[in-house]
Structure formats: C-alpha cells, structure tokens
C-alpha cells in the first residue's frame, strides 16, 4: 500500500493545483453568494471526467457542487468542504482580496484558508489517484457544499442524498489531524422592561440598562463541566459562553423611545458531551445574578439553535488511515488535535465516520489572508495518499 500511496502522490499535477487555487480565490463566495463558485467547481470536475457531476439544489442560486470517481466495488469515501466565506475584512495592503496573486511563495485570497484551497486540493488529489493507474476499489466522491456558515443546509442535503462509509472534512487544521470540534448552542435572552417616551423617563424601565446587568454576568461565566480527561486534553476545560449580538430599542433611522425589550444572543461553545441542560443552568445562574444586581430584572430564555460537537474515535479506520497518510507524506508521527470552531460534521458526523484535515490555520479572515504553496502541496499529497490507502483492494 505504501507503493500505491507514493504513486498517487507522484501523479499530482502541481501546476494545475496552484492554477486552480488561484482561480477559486478570484471568485467571491461570501455566504449567500456561493452559486458562481459552485458552477466553477462543477465545470472543473465535469471537464476532468468526473462522474455524476451536478449542481445539487440546496437554496436559491446556492447549490452544492458534487462529482465522483468510481473504481468498482468497495467503500465510498467522501472528500468535503464548504464554499461559503465570511465577509471581506478591511485593511488589505499587499494585494486585493480576490486577486489570487502568487507572492513570495504564497497565494493570497479572501477565504483561501477557510476553505477554498482545500476544495481544490481534494479535487486534484482525486485526479492524481485516477491518473496514477494504481489499483483501487471503491468510490471517491467530492462534495463542495454551501451554507456552512448558515444552517449547514448544504452538508445536510448532500449526506441525506448520498451514502458514505467515511469522509474527510477539509477544514483548516494546519495540516494536522483533528478528531473533532466543539458544538454551538445559541440562546436568546429577551430582557423585559417598560417602555415610555424619553421625556417620561421616570415611568420607564429601560430594558437596555437591565440587559447590561445580564451581559456583565454572562461575560464573567466560567463553566467548567466534569469531562472525560481525554476530552479535556483535546478541547480544554472551559465551556465558553459569551453575550454576542445585542439588540434593544427601535431600528436605526426611526423614532426613539425607552425600550421595553432587549435581546441578547448568548453564543455557547460546548465540548462534545456537554449537554444543553447544563449550559442552560449556567445561563440561569448568570441571570439570577443580574436580578441581584437589579431586582427589576426579568427575562425569557429561548434555545434558538443547536449544533452538536463532533469527536471521532482515535481507533476509527478513517483516523488510522489519515495517520498513515500523514506518516507517508511527512515522515513523522502525526499529532491528534481538535478545534474550537464549528465544522459541518455537526450535521453529518453522527452518520459518517469523519476525520478533519486541511491546509491553513488561525488567525483566519484577516487582511492579506494567504496560504503558502508548500502547505497547499502537502495537503494535496496527504489527500492523495489517504485515498490510495482507503481504496486499496482487499485480498
């Protein structure tokens, strides 16, 4: 199998790889505008001879780009990643956000690390596996999905429609192996006051002022749940919780008055195994502290969104195969880690054993975002080696 992995790595077309990475960097795909990038990736796969290439409907003008290569009977392995990015950061100086320029051994582009480069690395690795001529058994599939930064509807749509025996998620891990990531619980705390015209301030209870008491308590939270030591080692001891978006009063541009409602979106990032009830209890504790600060405080709490964390078993085949692939490419023992961000495995990881591996790392979405050519090439080599090992014919 080592010979097969070496042959697959040797078949990588580096010139094509870098050219395609530059191309995708030139196509804006901020959340809500994934359509043009999806069309481009679908065209790339179709022109390369992938089977089943199509734009899978997800949301209006925001499809997934899917395709696959079949090598007969065997496991079905999915390479996947998201196309959508956050908005462009201010302060670019080296070049333009969508230039795709190659400067001093790195390619510059907004979203190149999260995760446009990985999508190309996966596609080119699949081409190398096909072009190498090594014996393979099974199917390699590509799913470039939309709406990751929304409700993960792209991943949900794909894995509801296509089967998979294992998957590789190309999120940014600095080319290290990640077993999983934290979850995300959103709670909306609606603080209630009493409205009045500003000239009748004495009759009002300002919901914004009451909410400030809750913000202070929530920001001071330090939730340290009881966890398996292995989970603590990967993710840390604290379940992070922070008051994020805050909205109170009438919309900008209109009249003003003392508000009777202020909504705090509490962003909670639990480790795998930390349940909703435990986090809700911590929020209630914080709100009780706000009531001590101001006895007029009262609020309603709504669980607005749940995305579970993900943690692969280190003994899973998909993890073992990725460890072997990294050893082959790097010649060193890989380190197993985990992420604080949220991956699409929140929506499909319970169905499909998945390992996370991709080029790029923190900080991300900064001015002058770039990724070294060396990291792009190494990631592609690991994806190619992984595919060779995962689809090696079993005697």
Predicted local confidence at residue 362, as pLDDT: 85
pLDDT digits (tens, 9 = 90+) for 236-249: 999 999 999 999 98
Number of other residues whose CB lies within 10 A of the CB of residue 169: 29
* pLDDT for 72: 95
* Mean pLDDT score across all residues of the chain: 96
pTM across the whole model? 0.94
Fold of 2-181+309-390: Aminopeptidase (3.40.630)
pLDDT interval class at 194 (50, 70, 90): very high
Single out the residue of 55, 91, 42, 51 nearest to residue 70, CA to CA: 51
Label residue 332 by pLDDT band (50, 70, 90).
Answer: very high
Going from N- to C-terminal start, the domains of the chain cover 2-181+309-390, 184-307
Residue 252 — pLDDT band, cuts 50, 70, 90?
A: confident
Confidence of residue 66 (pLDDT cuts 50, 70, 90): very high
Residue 326's pLDDT band (cuts 50, 70, 90): very high
Q: Is the N-terminal amide bond of 115 cis, ω within 30° of 0?
A: yes
Which pLDDT tens digit goes with each residue over 256-278?
A: 899 999 999 999 999 999 999 99
- Tens digits of per-residue pLDDT, 184-193? 999 999 999 9
Cα 336 to chain centroid distance, Å, stands at: 18
Q: Which helix (H) or strand (E) holds 148?
A: none
Residue 114 has pLDDT above 80, yes or no: yes
Q: Was domain 184-307 assigned CATH 3.30.70.360?
A: yes
Distance (Å) of CA 5 to CA 90, 178, 264:
42, 21, 51
Task: Say if 2-181+309-390 and 184-307 have the same CATH topology.
Answer: no
Alpha carbon of residue 120 to chain centroid: 16
Question: Structure tokens of 92?
Answer: 């670019």
- Rounded Cα distance, 201 and 256, in Å: 13
């Amino acid at each position: 199998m080592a010979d097969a992995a070496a042959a697959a790595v040797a078949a990588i077309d580096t010139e094509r790889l870098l050219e395609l990475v530059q191309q995708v960097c030139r196509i804006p795909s901020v959340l809500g505008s994934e359509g043009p990038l999806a069309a481009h990736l679908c065209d790339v796969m179709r022109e390369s001879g992938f089977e089943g290439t199509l734009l899978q409907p997800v949301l209006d003008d925001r499809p997934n780009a899917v395709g696959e290569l079949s090598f007969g009977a065997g496991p079905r392995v999915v390479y996947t990643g998201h196309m959508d990015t956050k908005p462009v950061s201010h302060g670019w100086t080296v070049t333009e956000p969508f230039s795709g320029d190659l400067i001093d051994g790195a390619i510059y582009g907004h979203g190149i690390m999260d995760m446009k480069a990985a999508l190309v690395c996966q596609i080119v690795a699949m081409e190398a596996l096909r072009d190498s001529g090594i014996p393979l058994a099974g199917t390699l599939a590509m799913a470039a999905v939309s709406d990751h930064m929304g409700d993960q509807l792209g991943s949900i749509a794909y894995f509801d429609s296509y089967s998979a025996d294992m998957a590789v998620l190309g999120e940014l891990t600095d080319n290290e192996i990640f077993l999983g990531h934290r979850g995300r619980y959103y709670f909306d705390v609606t603080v209630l006051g009493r409205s009045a015209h500003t000239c009748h301030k004495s009759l009002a209870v300002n919901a914004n002022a009451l909410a400030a008491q809750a913000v202070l308590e929530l920001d001071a939270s330090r939730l340290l749940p009881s966890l398996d030591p292995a989970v603590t080692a990967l993710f840390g001891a604290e379940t992070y919780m922070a008051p994020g978006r805050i909205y109170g009063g009438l919309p900008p541009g209109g009249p003003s008055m003392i508000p009777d409602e202020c909504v705090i979106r509490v962003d909670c990032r639990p480790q795998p195994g930390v349940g909703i009830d435990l986090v809700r209890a911590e929020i209630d504790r914080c709100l009780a502290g706000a009531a001590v600060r101001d006895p007029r405080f009262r609020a309603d709490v709504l669980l607005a969104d749940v995305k579970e964390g993900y943690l692969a078993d280190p003994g899973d085949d998909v993890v073992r195969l990725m460890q072997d692939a990294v050893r082959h490419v790097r010649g060193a023992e890989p380190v197993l880690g985990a992420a604080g961000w949220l991956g699409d495995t929140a929506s499909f990881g319970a169905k499909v054993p998945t390992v996370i591996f991709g080029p790029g790392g923190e900080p991300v979405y900064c001015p002058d975002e770039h990724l070294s050519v060396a990291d792009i090439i190494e990631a592609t080599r690991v994806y190619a080696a992984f595919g060779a090992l995962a689809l090696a014919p079993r005697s």
